[in-house]
Amino acid sequence: MDEPLRLRVAVEAPQHSGLQTALDYSCERWLSPGTLVRVPLGRREVAGVVWPGDPSEEPSLALKPIAQVLQAVPPLSARWCELVEFAAAYYQRGLGEVALSVLPPELRKLDDAQLANRITRLRKAFDKPVEAIAPTARPELSPDQATALGRLRELSTPGAAPVVLLHGLTGSGKTEVYLRAAEEALASGRQVLVLVPEINLTPQLEARFAERFGSGAAPRRIVSLHSGLTPAQRLKNWLAAHLGLADLVLGTRLAVFAPLPRLGLIVVDEEHDPSYKQQEGARYSARDLAVYRGKLEGACVVLGSATPSLESWQRAEQGRYVRLSLASRIGGGALPTVRLVDKNLLPKATGVTSTLSPQLVAALATRLERGEQSLVFLNRRGYAPVLHCTACGWKSGCPNCSAWRVFHKLDRTLRCHHCGFTQSVPRACPDCGNLDIASIGRGTERLEEQLAASLPGARVARIDADSTKLKGALEAQLSAVHAGDVDVLVGTQMIAKGHDFRRITLVAAVSPDSALFSSDFRAPERLFSLLMQAAGRAGRDAAQAARSEMWVQTWHPLHPLYAALRRHDYTAFAASQLKEREMAGLPPFAHLALLRAEARTAEAAKEFLQAAADLAAQIPGASELLIYPAVPTSVARVANVERMQMLIEASSRGALQRVLTPWMASLPSLRSQHKAVMRWALDVDPLAI
Ligand code: ADP
Ligand code: ZN
Ligand code: ZN
């Protein structure tokens, strides 16, 4: 009898199983790499993917056989496997863990017959002609757009896969460039992947792509991929991409792993957005993986932003990316005038500083009279960040976290935004019984209240994570804004992003200063980008653009960040930030990783990290790394778990990676001596420090 074949399979296994690579299984017949299978692991049967590469030579008596083969689904491509393998290695996670976590969950549940069924139905659905949408005319390209597209065409010769950084303000016509680039890729028979940072932004963009490509002589099939889909929809759309039925895939970060047999173009819109970084499991950056994938697949990559990440900007400066700029807004719309309100000059009302300066209130009142809309944002939800007792100094701390519980006035609760612990507001101080409990500071709820009080007759609406909890609430609120049923929109940064509000002529940031002095070196970059984006909300309608304004209330009106903002000068801001980063030895001039540990006590977490650092020191190449002492995370205790982190710095990615791989493999050995440590996780290229 023939000996059964030996195959490598990437299997789904939890991170701490220590399983980093593929396992060997036996099979009666050869299966092509990329085939989906089910295999026994321990006492369970788990999903797996037959992996490229040679199985180990080690003779093993008890090789387990592959239990099921899902033949209905064509094998994943070698390039897809390579992308996953790179992501697993770079972000230091198990191969099978990454491979299976980026596949639609339904693939694990259905058997071969069920999958075959779904695929037949899907093919049938795609055989039907698309419902015709009234075609819209393509606009004449602006000179900047024409130049950008011309360069893109020049660069995209066969065999070349350029990475382009498309720098242009909101409203400068970047999306039109994506559409035209997509058109050309589609015309040559290739697929297009478009990534957006947030689910909320997919319908808008999907509509624009559908308008352009969903009709005409050769209508294109567009599918979306994001976590807001039902499991069945997600499987369907994923299969449509994988089978090559969909021409265009639009999605959030997880879509970077969508299998696309004819991929020709990847667009990453708002490439600077932190949402592209996954914050759990394999902490990958979808933007960075998109760039890697473009090289792998010979696909052109377009990274678009008004305020590119300094990493991407730096690469463009070095010539590794090609920078293309759209210098002005379409229709010549002027940019809003930036007005800084110097809080130092405001009259001090007895002990309390008002959130809203008289100047800002007057400007808002003028808009109200003219029937124009305003947008006011503050990055803190709830009514007030903390309650306190005026007699004994009690504050509304969370018993489980090192954080204050936020006062929510609408339902009179104190809520912890970290662990969720919620109680009704006490009638009297829990410590001394005093009835005089006051709130300190302000959140969006209070701002909403103050705006309504300062602007009698104004229709004030609030959009933040609290007001949009119910499904459909955000859509309903947004359409009220679009319909003109709102005069003043209050909210967190949620409203500063992406939404195309046509009637807004004033945008105000009431209290953005804290980011200027944050311990996180990226805070200024994020603030600048947020303010630029918020400014882009104002005056998108050229007719109104001339009188649109952006207001910033600040204690530091001379800060260089605000100076650059006044001139809408990202380039100057980037240059000054990059200089600071270079002097301080921070990214993109250094490469970082962050090891975090969680334990019942801070000591236990710290001891573990120290022991980990000692292990690292023994690894060849460790001398090229700088390992900082462990420190508590910004909110150290959450739900009674203490969190510490340790920063690792290297001058090159290579130096970092050479140590990280053996180091991560050695950490499970610490487990037995550090039983109090509940978990640890490594974040490569962390975004928040
Ligand atoms: P961005 O993506 O940079 O914010 P958009 O591509 O959305 O910019 O363009 C802003 C607005 O200008 C949109 O309403 C778009 O339809 C319109 N637009 C874009 N390019 C042109 C063009 N060449 N001619 C006329 N209108 C255009
Ligand atoms: Zn008290
Ligand atoms: Zn808490």
Centre of ligand 1 to C-alpha 411, Å, is 43
The pTM for the full model equals 0.92
Distance 218 CA to ligand 3 centre (A): 55
User: Average pLDDT of 125-134?
Assistant: 74
pLDDT surpassing 90 at residue 455: yes
List the 504-509 sheet strands across, edge first. Answer: 337-342, 549-554, 504-509, 373-377, 488-491, 460-463
The whole-number average pLDDT for the span 261-279 is 96
Whether ligand 1 lies within 6 angstroms of the CB of 139 is answered as yes
Residues 282-324: pLDDT tens digits? 999 999 999 999 999 999 999 999 999 999 999 999 999 999 9
- Give me the chain's average pLDDT, please: 91
Please report which ligand is nearest the Cα atom of 205: 1
Within 8 A by CB and 6+ apart from 429, the residues are: 389, 391, 392, 394, 435, 436, 437
Contact 141, 299 (CB under 8 A): no
CB-facing half-sphere around the CA of 303: CA atoms within 13 A:
29
Q: Which atom of ligand 1 is nearest to the CA of 306?
A: 3
CA of 425 to the centre of ligand 2 (A): 14
* Helix, coil or strand: residue 359: helix
Residues 6+ apart with CB under 8 A from 586: 521, 580
Check: CB of residue 596 under 8 Å from CB of residue 681.
Answer: yes
**Residue at token pair 């792509």:** 209
* Ligand 1 centroid distance, CA of 175 (Å): 7
Query: What Å distances lie between residue 209 and 213, 375, 467, CA to CA?
Result: 6, 28, 29
**Ligand 1 within 6 A of 141 CB?**
yes
pLDDT band at 470 (very low <50, low <70, confident <90, very high): confident
When pLDDT is cut at 50, 70 and 90, the band that residue 498 belongs to is low
Interval between CA 137 and ligand 2 midpoint (Å): 67
Distance 199 CA to ligand 1 centre (A): 21
Alpha helical stretches, state H, 483-554: 523-537, 542-545
Q: 234: closest CA among 84, 107, 77?
A: 107
Q: How confident is the model at residue 474 (pLDDT cuts 50, 70, 90)?
A: confident
Ligand 3 midpoint to CA 428 (Å): 21
Give mean pLDDT, residues 647-654: 96
- Report how far ligand 2's centroid is from the alpha carbon of 598 (Å): 33
The pLDDT of 148-154, averaged and rounded, is: 94
Specify the pLDDT at position 81: 97
175, 268, 305: residue to mutate for ligand 1 pocket, most atoms within 8 A of CB? 175
Per-residue model confidence as pLDDT tens digits over 49-60:
999 988 777 666
Among the listed ranges 158-167, 341-350, 578-587, which one has the minimum average pLDDT value?
A: 341-350
Which numbered atom of ligand 1 lies nearest the CA of 170? 4
Task: Report, as an integer, the average pLDDT of 80-108.
Answer: 95
Answer with the residue of higher pLDDT: 583 or 470: 583
pLDDT at 541: 67
Query: Exposed, middle or buried by CB within 10 Å (0-12, 13-18, 19+), for 266?
Result: buried
Please answer whether residues 19 and 96 qualify as being in contact, where contact means their C-beta atoms are separated by less than 8 angstroms.
yes
Q: Residue 332: CB within 6 Å of ligand 1?
A: no
- Residue 174 Cβ inside 6 Å of ligand 1? The answer reads yes
CB distance 168 to ligand 1 below 6 Å: yes
146-155, 262-271, 353-362, 676-685: lowest mean pLDDT where?
353-362
Residue nearest to atom 14 of ligand 1 (CA): 171
How far, in Å, is the centroid of ligand 1 from the Cα of 329? 8
Section 335-364 average pLDDT: 83
Express as a percent the part of the chain with pLDDT over 90: 70
Nearest CA to ligand 1 atom 26: 139
For residue 96, the surrounding DSSP H or E stretch is helix 95-101
Determine if ligand 1 sits within 6 Å of the CB of residue 668.
no
What is the separation of C-alpha 583 from the centre of its chain, rounded to a whole number of angstroms? 28
| Closest approach atom of ligand 1 to CA 142 | 23
Ligand nearest to the CA of residue 429, numbered in listed order: 2
33 or 499: which leads in pLDDT: 33
d(CA 551, CA 357): 11
Please state, in angstroms and rounded to a whole number, the distance separating the CA atoms of residues 45 and 266. 36
Report d(CA 33, CA 281) in Å as an integer.
25
What token pair was written down for 427? 């009638």
Question: What is the pLDDT at residue 17?
Answer: 63
Task: Indicate whether 352 pLDDT > 50.
Answer: no
145 lines ligand 1 (CB under 6 A): yes
Ion ligand 2 nearby residues (CB, 5 A): 389, 391-392, 394, 429, 431-432, 434
The reply to whether ligand 1 has any atom less than 6 angstroms from the CB of 305 is no
Instruction: Write down the pLDDT at residue 134.
Output: 63
Q: What is the dihedral of CA 524, 526, 531, 532, to 10 degrees?
A: 110
Task: Out of 149, 174, 176, give the residue to mutate to test ligand 1, the one with the largest number of ligand atoms within 8 Å of its CB.
Answer: 176
Give pLDDT tens digits for 191-237: 999 999 988 778 888 888 988 888 776 788 999 999 889 999 999 99
Q: How far is the CA of 236 from the centre of ligand 1 (A)?
A: 32
- 170 in contact with ligand 1, CB cutoff 6 A: yes
β-partners of residue 513 are none
**298 C-alpha vs ligand 1 centroid, how far in Å?**
28
